[in-house]
C-alpha cells in the first residue's frame, strides 16, 4: 500500500478548518445591539440593566482600558428556524488565543439572572432547543474591556497596567452579534475528528492503530459533502464509530480530569476585576454542569468563593445548589493560593484556618488536600502546617517549570523539616490549563515518572490564569477518551476521588525531603519591596494585636475584637496571593496594596495601643511592652515593665579614616568609605570579616532576564557587578540620623552615618552598636531611581561552612554553600524569613532583617592561607519594567543586624527583636505579667489569642525553633481549668498527645521543629 499518510493528514486539517468548523453554525441573522458605558468603576447589576444604552454596530471600536460596557442585544428567532437549536454568537472582539487575558463578559437575562460568561473560547449562549419561530430574544452583557498586558511580544513595558496611566483609547472592535442555528451533528463531527486527528499524531508512524484511524478519517471525509456539511455530517460520523468504539488497552494510563479554572486573585488585572472573573467562570461552570451529567468542577481559594457570595448573590445561589449536588467542589482549603516561601509561620497557618473554616461553615465540607498548582516553589515547613490543619495531601504543578533539573517523581511523599510527610501529586500533564488536546493527554502518559508501580494522574482541565474554566468542547473530548485505544483513559473525578485511588495503588511512594525549590521566578523574593515590607509589618502587628487584646481581655475585660481581627487577617492573607506578595502583578495591584497595608497598620496600631493602655492603667511611669517571644532588657516575653539598662558603647576616630565602635562585646571598624572592615568578637577573640575584605558592601548588577522580568533573575546577572565603595559622607551620627521612624538608634548607642550616591539614586545608612548588644545594627534608606538593576548588600564572613540555615515557617532549613551538583547550583537565589545563619561548630554569624527575603550565599578559598570565606548577600531592590514599568521607584527602608558569635537560638531571638520593636506606654508603676510563659527559649510562641469560637479560651501556638528536642513547661498567667492539644482550627482530638498538667502549668516534650497548638480553658 502506498504511504499517503501526509496527504490524508493535510486533507483533514484543511477540511476541518475551512469547511466543517465554519458549518457548525449554518444560518445566522444579526442581533440589534446597544451599549451603555459605565462611568468609572463597575456598577451594580441592577444599575447596568436599567441604564439606557445607545445603538452600536458590529465593527465599531469600544471599551476604554479597564472600562465596563453594558451591551443590550435583542432580536427575533426566524419562523423557519422552528424546531432547530438556536444560539446567540456574541463576539466582543475576542482573540481565541487569549482566554482570560483580554475582554470578557457576563450575560444576564432582563430580570438579572446570570446565564453564562463570555470569553475567547466561549462565545455562545443557548437560546432554545428546539426553538419556536418568532421567539423574542433579549440579553444583557456586562463586558469588561480589560487591556491585553501580556501580548504576542511579551514583557514589553506598558502603561496599561494602571487605570491612572492607561488612557481612554478603545481596546476592542465588536466582531459578531448574531442569532444562529447550531448544527449538533456538525459540532459532534468536529469533536470526533479533532480527537482522532490529535490521537493519530501522537501514535508511532508504524503503529497499526494510527493507520486504522487514518483510513477511517479518510473514509469519513469522503462522506462529507463540502457544499452541504450539515446534511452529510451524520453519515461521516457513522464511518468513525468503529475506531471510536475500540476500547483502551488494559495497561493504559488513567487520568482523573478535574474541571478547573485556576484564577489568579490578582495579576494582570486588579483585585476588583477578579471578583468579576470568578463570577463569570462560576456562571459558566454551573451552566455546564446542568448540560453535562458526568462533569465535575473544582474551585479553590475560599476568598474567591466569598467574593461570589458577597458581590454576586444570584451566581452564589447556583453555586450552592451545584455544591449540594456534589459536582461543584471546594478544593484546597486555603484562603488564597498563596505564595508559600515568604508568608510567616502564623500567616501560613491562618491561610488554612480561614480557608477550611469558610468551607466548613458554608457547606460542611472539609478538604483533605492543599491545592497549589501555580505557586512558585514550596517551603520546607509546609508539610506539618498542612497536617496540622487536618489535611494530608498536596497538589502542585509549577515545579514542571524548573529550568535546570527535572523533578524525579510525579507521585511521592514530601517530608518537611519536622519529619511530617504529605502525599503529593505533581500532574505529568505539565499544565494547570489542560484543554484535552491529544498532545496533552499523550504527554501525561509518556511523562509519568512512576510507571510500573502507579498509573493514575490528575489533569486540571479548563482555561485558567484569567479564568473561563472548562468548555463543552473539553467535556466532549474527554467523553471520547473515556475508553479509547491508543489514548490514556479519561474520567471526570473530584480531587478526593483521585487521591484515594492514587494512594491505594502506591503504598510505598518515594520520599522527597526538604523544600520543593522552583528553579525559576527567583526574583519574586525581591520585586516590589513595599509590598513585601507591608506584608512583614502586617504579620507582626497582627501578632501584637492578638497578644495584647487577649491579655487585656483576660486581665481587664477589654472587648476582644474578634470580627476586626478576622477581617484584617483575611485582608493580609489575600495579599499573600502568589502574584501579589511576590511582586509580579501590574502597578494597580501594588499601588492598592501599599494603601491597604497602611490602613491595616493604622488600625492594628490603634488596637494595640488601646489594649496596652487598658493593661498599663493610670499613672506617669514608663512601661516597656515586649511582644517578642523572648525576654529582653529585663522585660518578660509577652509582658511589660520598666526596662533595665546596662553597659555603654563608645565611638572614636579610626586611624586612616573612619570610626571604631566598641561596647565591650564587639569592636567594629568602619573605614573612610563607610565599609565595615572589621567586626571583632571580643569574648571569642574572633574576627568576622575576612582579611582584606569589607562588609556592608552595596553591589549593583545589571538585571535583564531572558523572560518574566518581575519574576526572574538569571544567573548571568552575576557576571557584571559594580561595588559601591565611594561615599559622599561618613560621619558620627546621633539618634536623629536613623533611617526612619522604626529605625531609631537605641539610647546610648554609638553610630556612624554614611551617604552614597550612584546613578540617579542615593543610599543613606546608619550603622550603630548599642550598649550590651552583640550585634551591629544597619539601617538603610534607599532613594531608588534605577532601571533594570539589582541591588545587593554583601557581608563576606571568615567562616568555613558547607551549609547554612535560613528561617522558614516554624523552624529553619539548611542549604549548601557549594555547587557540587546542578541541584545546588540552581539555588543561586533563595528565601529566608527573619534570619540567615552561617556557622562553624563553635562559632557562627547571623544576619537578621525586618523585610527582605531574597539572598545568596557563596564560598571561596583564599590563595594566601587556604582559609574559606563565605559571603552572604541580602537582596534589597530590583527595577524590572514588566508588568509594572515603575517597579520600586522611590524611597525604601530596610533594617538589618549582623550578629557575630550567634547560635541559631541567637538568630531566632535577634530576628524577632528587629521585627517586634518595644513599645513604650505611660501607666501605673507595675508589671504586666505575661498571659502565658514558656521556660525554654528554644520553644518559640508564635501566637497568643482568644479562641475563634468566642468561648474565652486562650489559644497558644508554639514550636521548637532550634532543630533539637525540648521539654517545655508552659505556665498560664490565669487560673487554668483545662488544657487540650488541638489542630490549627482549635478543634480537640486532632493530636494524639498526653499533656502533664500541674496547677496552672502544662508540661510536654517536643520533637525538632514540632508545632503545637494548645487550647487553655480559664478557671
Residue 196 grid coordinates: 482522532
Of 782, 784, 486, 771, the residue nearest 633 (C-alpha): 771
In this structure, the number of other CB atoms found within 10 A of the CB of residue 54 comes to: 8
Tell me the backbone φ, ψ of residue 184, rounded to 5 degrees: -60, -45
CB 358 within 8 A of CB 352: no
Q: How distant, in Å, are the alpha carbons of 71, 87, 99, 119 from that of 74?
A: 10, 13, 26, 20
The three-class DSSP label of residue 333 is coil
DSSP 8-class letter at 113: -
Most distant CA pair in the chain, distance: 103
Q: Is 374 labeled as catalytic in the residue annotation? A: yes
Residue pair 294/330 in contact (Cβ under 8 Å)? The answer is no
620 near 563, Cβ under 8 Å? no
Task: Map residue 15 onto helix, strand or coil.
Answer: helix
Q: How far apart are CA 226 and CA 211, in angstroms?
A: 24
- Cβ atoms of 125 and 116 within 8 Å: the answer is yes
Q: Could you give the CA distance from residue 240 to residue 467 in angstroms, rounded to a whole number?
A: 34
Cα–Cα dist 823/515, whole Å: 12
Contact 422, 1015 (CB under 8 A): no
CA–CA separation, 204 and 53 (whole Å): 57
Of 424, 505, 420, 434, whose CA–CA distance to 465 is shortest? 434
Strand spans (E) along 633-775: 640-641, 650-653, 659-662, 666-670, 676-681, 686-687, 697-702, 722-724, 729-733, 750-758, 761-769
Question: Nearest-CA neighbor of 147 among 123, 131, 166, 126?
Answer: 166
Answer yes or no: are the C-beta atoms of 65 and 169 closer than 8 Å: yes
Residue with cell string 518559640 = 940
Three-state SS for 19?
helix
**CA pair distance 968, 776, nearest whole angstrom:** 32
Q: Could you give the CA distance from residue 1012 to residue 15 in angstroms, rounded to a whole number?
A: 65
Q: Which three cell numbers stand for residue 661?
A: 565602635
Select which of 91, 178, 185, 374 is catalytic: 374
Spell out the residues 6+ positions from residue 512 whose beta carbon is closer than 8 angstroms to its own: 409, 412, 413, 414, 415, 424
Catalytic site residues? 374
Amino acid at each position: 500500500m502506498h504511504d499517503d499518510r501526509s496527504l490524508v493528514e493535510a486533507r483533514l486539517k484543511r477540511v476541518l478548518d475551512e469547511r466543517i468548523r465554519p458549518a457548525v453554525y449554518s444560518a445566522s441573522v444579526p442581533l440589534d445591539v446597544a451599549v451603555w458605558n459605565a462611568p468609572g468603576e463597575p456598577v451594580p447589576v441592577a444599575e447596568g440593566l436599567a441604564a439606557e444604552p445607545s445603538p452600536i454596530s458590529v465593527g465599531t471600536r469600544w471599551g476604554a482600558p479597564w472600562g465596563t460596557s453594558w451591551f443590550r442585544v435583542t432580536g427575533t428567532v426566524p419562523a423557519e428556524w422552528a424546531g432547530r437549536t438556536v444560539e446567540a454568537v456574541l463576539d466582543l472582539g475576542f482573540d481565541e488565543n487569549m482566554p482570560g487575558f483580554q475582554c470578557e463578559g457576563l450575560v444576564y437575562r432582563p430580570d438579572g439572572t446570570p446565564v453564562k460568561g463570555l470569553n475567547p473560547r466561549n462565545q455562545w449562549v443557548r437560546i432554545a432547543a428546539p426553538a419556536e419561530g418568532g421567539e423574542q430574544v433579549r440579553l444583557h452583557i456586562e463586558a469588561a474591556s480589560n487591556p491585553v498586558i501580556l501580548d504576542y511580544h511579551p514583557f514589553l513595558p506598558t502603561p496599561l497596567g494602571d487605570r491612572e496611566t492607561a488612557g481612554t483609547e478603545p481596546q476592542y472592535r465588536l466582531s459578531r452579534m448574531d442569532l444562529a442555528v447550531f448544527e449538533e451533528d456538525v459540532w459532534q463531527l468536529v469533536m470526533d475528528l479533532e480527537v482522532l486527528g490529535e490521537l493519530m499524531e501522537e501514535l508511532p508512524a508504524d503503529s497499526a492503530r494510527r493507520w486504522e484511524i487514518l483510513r477511517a478519517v479518510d473514509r469519513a471525509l469522503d462522506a462529507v459533502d463540502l457544499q452541504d456539511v450539515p446534511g452529510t455530517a451524520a453519515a461521516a460520523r457513522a464511518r468513525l464509530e468503529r475506531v471510536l468504539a475500540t476500547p483502551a488497552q488494559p495497561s493504559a494510563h488513567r487520568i482523573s480530569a478535574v474541571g478547573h479554572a485556576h484564577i489568579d486573585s490578582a495579576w494582570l488585572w486588579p483585585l476588583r476585576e477578579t471578583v468579576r472573573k470568578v463570577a463569570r467562570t462560576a456562571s459558566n461552570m454551573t451552566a455546564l454542569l446542568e448540560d453535562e451529567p458526568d462533569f465535575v468542577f473544582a474551585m479553590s481559594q475560599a476568598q474567591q468563593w466569598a467574593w461570589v457570595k458577597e458581590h454576586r448573590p444570584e451566581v452564589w445561589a447556583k453555586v450552592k445548589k451545584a455544591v449540594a449536588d456534589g459536582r461543584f467542589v471546594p478544593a484546597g482549603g486555603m484562603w488564597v493560593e498563596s505564595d508559600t516561601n515568604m508568608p510567616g509561620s502564623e500567616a501560613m497557618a491562618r491561610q488554612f484556618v480561614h480557608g477550611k473554616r469558610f468551607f466548613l461553615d458554608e457547606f460542611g465540607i472539609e478538604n483533605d488536600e492543599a491545592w497549589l498548582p501555580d505557586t512558585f516553589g514550596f517551603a520546607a515547613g509546609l508539610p506539618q502546617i498542612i497536617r496540622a490543619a487536618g489535611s494530608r495531601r498536596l497538589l502542585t504543578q509549577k515545579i514542571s517549570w524548573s529550568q535546570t533539573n527535572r523533578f524525579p517523581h510525579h507521585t511521592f511523599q514530601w517530608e518537611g523539616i519536622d519529619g511530617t510527610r504529605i502525599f503529593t501529586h505533581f500532574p505529568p500533564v505539565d499544565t494547570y490549563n489542560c484543554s484535552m488536546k491529544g498532545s496533552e493527554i499523550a504527554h501525561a502518559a509518556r511523562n509519568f515518572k512512576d510507571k510500573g508501580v502507579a498509573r493514575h494522574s490528575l489533569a486540571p482541565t479548563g482555561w485558567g490564569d484569567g479564568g473561563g474554566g472548562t468548555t463543552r468542547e473539553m467535556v466532549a473530548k474527554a467523553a471520547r477518551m473515556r475508553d479509547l485505544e491508543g489514548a490514556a483513559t479519561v474520567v471526570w473525578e473530584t480531587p478526593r476521588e483521585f487521591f484515594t485511588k492514587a494512594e491505594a495503588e502506591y503504598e510505598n511512594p518515594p520520599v522527597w525531603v526538604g523544600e520543593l525549590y522552583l528553579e525559576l521566578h527567583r526574583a519574586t523574593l525581591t520585586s516590589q519591596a513595599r509590598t513585601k515590607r507591608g506584608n512583614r509589618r502586617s504579620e507582626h502587628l497582627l501578632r501584637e494585636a492578638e497578644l495584647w487584646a487577649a491579655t487585656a481581655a483576660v486581665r481587664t475585660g477589654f472587648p476582644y475584637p474578634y470580627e476586626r481581627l478576622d477581617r484584617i487577617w483575611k485582608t493580609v492573607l489575600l495579599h499573600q496571593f502568589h502574584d501579589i506578595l511576590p511582586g509580579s502583578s501590574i502597578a494597580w495591584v501594588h499601588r492598592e496594596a501599599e494603601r491597604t497595608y497602611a490602613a491595616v497598620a493604622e488600625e492594628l496600631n490603634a488596637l494595640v495601643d488601646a489594649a496596652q493602655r487598658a493593661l498599663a492603667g493610670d499613672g506617669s511611669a514608663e512601661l516597656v511592652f515586649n511582644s517578642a517571644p523572648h525576654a529582653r532588657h529585663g522585660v518578660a516575653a509577652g509582658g511589660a515593665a520598666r526596662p533595665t539598662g546596662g553597659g555603654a558603647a563608645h565611638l572614636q576616630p579610626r586611624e586612616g579614616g573612619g570610626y571604631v565602635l566598641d561596647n565591650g562585646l564587639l569592636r567594629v571598624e568602619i573605614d573612610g568609605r563607610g565599609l565595615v572592615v572589621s567586626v571583632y568578637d571580643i569574648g571569642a577573640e574572633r574576627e568576622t570579616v575576612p582579611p582584606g575584605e569589607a562588609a556592608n558592601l552595596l553591589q549593583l548588577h545589571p538585571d535583564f532576564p531572558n523572560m518574566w522580568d518581575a519574576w526572574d533573575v538569571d544567573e548571568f546577572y552575576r557576571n557584571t557587578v559594580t561595588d559601591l565603595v565611594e561615599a559622599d559622607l561618613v560621619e558620627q551620627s546621633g539618634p536623629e540620623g536613623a533611617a526612619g521612624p522604626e529605625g531609631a538608634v537605641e539610647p546610648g548607642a554609638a553610630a556612624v552615618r554614611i551617604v552614597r550616591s550612584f546613578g540617579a539614586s542615593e543610599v543613606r545608612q546608619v550603622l550603630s552598636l548599642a550598649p550590651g548588644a552583640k550585634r551591629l545594627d544597619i539601617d538603610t534608606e534607599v532613594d531608588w531611581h534605577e532601571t533594570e538593576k539589582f541591588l545587593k548588600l554583601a557581608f563576606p564572613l571568615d567562616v568555613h561552612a558547607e551549609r547554612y540555615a535560613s528561617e522558614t515557617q516554624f523552624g529553619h532549613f539548611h542549604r549548601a554553600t557549594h555547587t557540587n551538583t546542578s541541584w545546588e547550583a540552581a539555588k543561586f537565589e533563595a528565601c529566608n524569613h527573619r534570619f540567615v545563619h552561617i556557622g562553624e561548630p563553635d562559632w557562627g554569624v547571623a544576619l537578621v532583617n525586618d523585610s527582605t527575603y531574597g539572598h545568596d550565599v557563596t564560598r571561596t578559598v583564599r590563595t594566601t592561607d587556604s582559609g574559606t570565606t563565605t559571603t552572604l548577600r541580602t537582596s534589597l531592590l530590583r527595577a524590572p519594567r514588566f508588568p509594572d514599568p515603575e517597579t520600586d521607584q522611590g524611597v525604601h527602608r530596610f533594617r538589618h543586624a549582623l550578629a557575630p558569635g550567634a547560635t541559631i537560638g541567637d538568630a531566632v531571638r535577634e530576628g524577632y527583636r528587629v521585627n517586634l520593636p518595644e513599645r513604650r506606654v505611660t501607666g501605673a508603676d507595675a508589671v504586666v505579667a505575661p498571659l502565658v510563659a514558656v521556660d525554654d527559649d528554644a520553644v518559640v510562641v508564635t501566637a497568643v489569642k482568644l479562641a475563634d469560637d468566642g468561648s474565652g479560651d486562650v489559644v497558644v501556638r508554639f514550636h521548637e525553633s532550634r532543630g533539637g528536642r525540648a521539654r517545655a513547661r508552659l505556665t498560664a498567667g490565669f487560673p487554668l481549668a483545662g488544657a487540650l492539644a488541638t489542630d490549627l482550627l482549635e478543634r480537640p482530638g486532632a493530636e494524639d498527645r498526653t499533656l502533664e498538667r500541674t496547677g496552672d502549668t502544662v508540661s510536654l516534650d517536643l520533637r525538632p521543629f514540632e508545632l503545637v497548638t494548645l487550647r487553655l480553658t480559664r478557671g
